Each structure stands twice: as C-alpha cells, then as structure tokens.
Homo-oligomer: A and B are copies of this chain.
Amino acid sequence: MGKLKVALLGLGNVGSGVYKILTANKAVIEKRSGYEIEVGKILVRDKNKPRPVDVDEDIVTTNIDDILNDDEISIVVELMGGEEPAKSYILRAIEKKKHVVTANKLLMAKCGVEVFNKAKEVGGVHIHYEASVAGGIPIIQGINEALTGNKIEKVIGIINGTTNYILTEMEDKGLSFEEALKGAQEKGYAEADPTSDIEGFDTLYKLDILTALCFNKKVPVDTIYREGITKISKGDIEIAKEFGYKIKLLAIGSEVDGKIEARVHPTMIPAKHPLANVNDSFNAIMLKGDAVGDLMFYGRGAGDLPTGSAVVGDIIAVAKNLNNEPSGLDLFEENNKKALKDMKDVESEYYLRLNVLDTPGTLAEISSIFALHKISILSLIQRGDRKEGMTDIIFITHKAKEEAIRNSIEAFENLGDKYKVENIIRIENFN
C-alpha cells in the first residue's frame, strides 16, 4: 500500500473536518484508494488557541517553512480561505513540487489562472479544488471526468446555502428578508457581516469557476453580472407563488454560438422544477450536456464534514494520479476566442412590480412604453388595494432583452412620482 503525507494549512471548521474524516475513516479510505494517508503537519495562526479537534502537538506549526521544507510532505491542503497569505503559500508549495488541494473559491476565481500557470511552469504538480464549489457535491469531478464526452451547454446552480436558507424561510414562514437574515445569523448560517453571501459575491466566485470548467473560458470576476437578494420582499415571494414560481438566487452560465453568458441574480423558477425544491441550506447544480441532457447534483454546500468530504476526495484523487501527468491545467483560459455576452444583450422573461398612480390612462401609458421598447406582456395582475392613491401592478413579460427592460424602466422613472419601479426579477422557465 502506498503512503502519503499531507499538510493542512488551517485547522478551523473545514480543516478539523478533514482531520476527523482522515482519522475516523482511515480503514475505508485505505480499502477504496489503496493509500495510507497521514497528516504530517498542520499550520495554524496561533498555537494556543483552543482547537475543534485533538491533534498531536508535534505536528502543529505556525511557520509555513516547516511544511514547505519538509520533503516528506507531498500534498499541501490549503483551508485558510481569503487571498493572502493563501496564494503565496500555494505558489511556494507548487515551486517545491508539492501537489495542492484547496477549498478556496475566492482564490481560484481571482487567481486560478496564476495558480495553474505556476503549476504548468513547474510541471508535474496536480491542483485540485473540488471543495471550492458547492462543498460536498462532486460537481468539479463530474464535469472534468464523467462528463468529458459532453459539450456542456448550460449550468444553473443554487450554490450559496445562506441565501437559500433565507429564501426558504421567507417562503415557508412568510418572514421578511430582515427577519430571515436575523434567524440565519442566529443559527450560524449567516455571518455577522453577511455581505459576501447576501450580495451574491460568494455565488459569483463559484460561478466563475464553473464557467471556466464548463466552457473553458475564465471570465474576470468583476465582469460577471451580480445581484443579491436584499431587495426580495415578502410580497414578491407571495406573488411568485400565485404565478406558480419560487424565487432562488441562481448562478447561470451558458454557451450559445461561442458566446458565454454568466450572471448571478434572484430568479423565479417554476415551483415544480427540481431546483425549486432545493430548500434550506442545501445546494444544487443543474447541468445540460449535449449528450447527457439534464443532470442535477444536490447536497450540502458547506459544513466541516461535507466540505471535508470533498477535500479528502481530492487528496485521494491526487494519490491515485501520482503516475499521471496533471490534467485540467488548461481549463482556466482567459484569452481564448469566446466572448462574454454583455448583460444588456441577455434575454430573459421578467417579473416587474410597479407602484403607480391609480388614475385613468396609467395602464395605457405603461403599455405604450412597453410597446415602444418592444416588450411583450404575458400576464399582469392589478389588485384592488390602494395606498395614498398608488397601487401595485405586476407584469410578467415574454422574452425580452435586458437592455429593453432597462430602457423602459428609465422611461418610467423619467415620468416622475407617478411610477415607482418596486422590483424586477428575472424568470427562468428552462426552455
């Protein structure tokens, strides 16, 4: 049986999960992988901080050089998160010809190209990052291995557990966004500063990685359209329900005629679609391959053990491939011919909630603005409820260009207090 020594950089939530799995499931791992995997060293920031797991003090260090200079360590497992010092440590590990396993989505999204280029330059180094997208769900391996025979046409994911938990609570319990966020913070699903989750940054990083994998096009993260869930109201969720939809924060990537579409935003999806039934903090990713058709992976997107499961899977993948040339180092290509579609050219159906002055002629005026911008209305609801002379009208459009929607909204806003655009939510009907 082969033996492998790994070093963990970080012993927080995920680090301790990895440690637990490697020790508790040692026998099963040896049986399935043919390798005995030992944690040789662990990097921590503070040696005196209480740890979530008991580890041998002799292997704990605060000095990265203890790990980089240890020739017995063949895999460095980066579980610190954030850009620095994670990036420097990874690049230095690669220079030392150590294989790298990382769970760091921000790093892979922002600096993945740099990491792969370094690995290509050095040669013979494997880079694995399954845990960086959707925790325990083996989506990266699925795309890179099992689906190799497919041209992937579309990827749509619910890949942030915090926002999915918040939206599920709003849906099931009729809570406001603020109430649901507070509950999520109390339960530990949302951080004290929830910006990265609720504003869609976390989802963005993961989509960026998926786009590179699926379409072989690494898009700079700041060029991808991103919209969080903070504007979603109880009312939007209720009306969505009436129309047979649920609201989810989706990451959407696709390739049509060599152009890449990539966007993150709250989306109405049919209540009967499998993605609509992904609730609480669960994640799911749906892929459309030209051969396999629709495929969905569902599971835990976070947590010490689910994420640890993906990290351990990666460690074993490295072990099994020690005799092979590293593959997948060319997937993150920034400068290939595929262009990113401008958001204003993206087509979608839309839900628009307008708060308008309830007088004769209003509907005619709205209709003429939509007509002017070639937006065709599929259905509308106007209820009787008035407040200070204003009333809500909800429109569902046929497919329209984002640009046309933006222009018509500008037109409404130019008409002054008579029209208030309360919310715009894109609709995905999966056809």
Contacts and interface: CB of A to CB of B under 8 A. Distances in A.
Interface of A: 17, 20-22, 24-25, 28-29, 31-34, 130, 136-138, 141-142, 144-151, 216, 272, 274, 277-278, 282, 284, 289-300, 303, 305-306, 308-310, 312-313, 316-317, 320-321, 323-325, 327-328, 330
B298 A149 contact: no
Given A277-B274, A320-B327, A323-B323, A149 B25 contact: yes
Most buried by B among A313, A324, A327, A330: A313
A151 B291 contact: no
Nearest to A150: B309
A376 B327 CA distance: 58
A316 to B, nearest CB: 5
Main secondary structure, interface of A, reads mixed
Nearest to A327: B34
Most buried by B among A282, A298, A325: A298
B313 A148 contact: yes
A320 B324 contact: yes
B296 A146 contact: no
B308 A148 contact: no
Identical copies in the complex: 2
A333 B242 CA distance: 54
B317 A147 contact: no
A292 B320 contact: no
B320 A291 contact: no
Given A34-B327, A274-B277, A29 B146 contact: no
Contacts of A309: 146-147, 149-150, 289, 291-292
B327 A148 contact: no
Contacts of A20: 291
A293 B297 contact: no
Contacts of A137: 295
A149 B29 contact: yes
Given A25-B149, A147-B309, 7 more contacts: A24-B290, A136-B289, A141-B145, A277-B277, A284-B296, A291-B308, A292-B300
A31 B137 CA distance: 24
Contact of A149 (B303, B308, B327): B308
Contacts of A324: 320-321, 323-324
A121 B413 CA distance: 77
B216 A317 contact: no
Contacts of A303: 293
Nearest to A152: B28
A235 to B, nearest CB: 24
A295 B135 CA distance: 11
Given A313-B149, A321-B324, A292 B305 contact: yes
A177 to B, nearest CB: 23
Most buried by B among A138, A149, A316: A149
A301 B306 CA distance: 26
A149 B274 contact: no
A149 B298 CA distance: 18
Most buried by B among A22, A150, A310: A150
A305 B321 contact: no
A246 to B, nearest CB: 12
Contacts of A289: 136, 309
Given A277-B272, A277-B274, A295 B292 contact: no
